[in-house]
Amino acid sequence: MDNQEIGRRIKHVRQHRGLTLKAVEASSGVSATHVSEIERGAASPTVGALIRIARALGKRPGFFLEENEIGEVSVVTRADRVAESVGSGVTMERLTAGIPGGCLQAAQVTLAPGRSHRSAPHAHDGVEVVLVLAGRVEVAVDGAVHGLGAGDAIHFDASRPHAYTNGSHDDPAVLLWMASRRDVV
């Protein structure tokens, strides 16, 4: 990501929100002159300055650094969805366009009979919500196992070790999976 693109994105968000350079200065503590230099690509923001500017603009710092700009509205049509293998007998269709680490990610996950999403419990920042669309699944959170059927949902702090398993020997389990602040899926 070059300075020109970072600056362009900052300026676009600032103007979209109807903020002046002085308003950003007041909220961020970064001088209006320096913000202007960053917007023009004449200066590269330090990590600290970018964090303060992003906060003043109501964005995550990563929004200004991503390779592909993510719009304010994102549509993923059924035709756009691609089933990708994320393990033996586990497929995922992403329902949200975006980048790993985005504020919210959603996917339809299908677990073949007897399969688990991961071979061992895992943990990460954020929260997860799982809605069982079809079949049955066992969700282990901190060692406690919760049996869920179609229509059941679970919500938990994802920093606690967790895993999903389809206990059926005959039928796949289909899940609507959502996570916030997730680094990797």
Q: How confident is the model at residue 173 (pLDDT cuts 50, 70, 90)?
A: very high
Integer Cα distance of 43 and 4 in angstroms: 9
Residue 185: the pLDDT is: 35
Q: How confident is the model at residue 151 (pLDDT cuts 50, 70, 90)?
A: very high
Give yes or no for residue 177 having a pLDDT over 90.
yes
Residue 69: the pLDDT is: 58
Q: Over the stretch 112-128, which tens digit does the pLDDT of each residue have?
A: 998 887 668 888 888 99
The encoded tokens of residue 176 equal 């609507």
The mean pLDDT value for 164-176 works out to 92
Integer Cα distance of 157 and 127 in angstroms: 5
Sheet arrangement for strand 144-149: 144-149, 136-141, 162-165
Secondary structure in 3-state letters for the chain: CCHHHHHHHHHHHHHHCCCCHHHHHHHHCCCHHHHHHHHHCCCCCCHHHHHHHHHHHCCCHHHHCCCCCCCCCCCCCHHHCCEEEEECCEEEEECCCCCCCCCEEEEEEEECCCCECCCCCECCCCEEEEEEEECEEEEEECCEEEEEECCCEEEEECCCCEEEECCCCCCCEEEEEEEECCCCC
Phi, psi torsion values for 153, nearest 5 degrees: -140, 160
Q: Give the largest CA-CA distance in the chain.
A: 65
Q: Over the stretch 55-93, which tens digit does the pLDDT of each residue have?
A: 999 888 888 887 665 566 778 888 888 888 887 888 889
Give yes or no for residue 166 having a pLDDT over 90.
yes
Residue 96: the pLDDT is: 82
Residue 184: the pLDDT is: 37
Q: How confident is the model at residue 101 (pLDDT cuts 50, 70, 90)?
A: very low
The mean pLDDT value for 17-24 works out to 94
Give yes or no for residue 33 having a pLDDT over 50.
yes
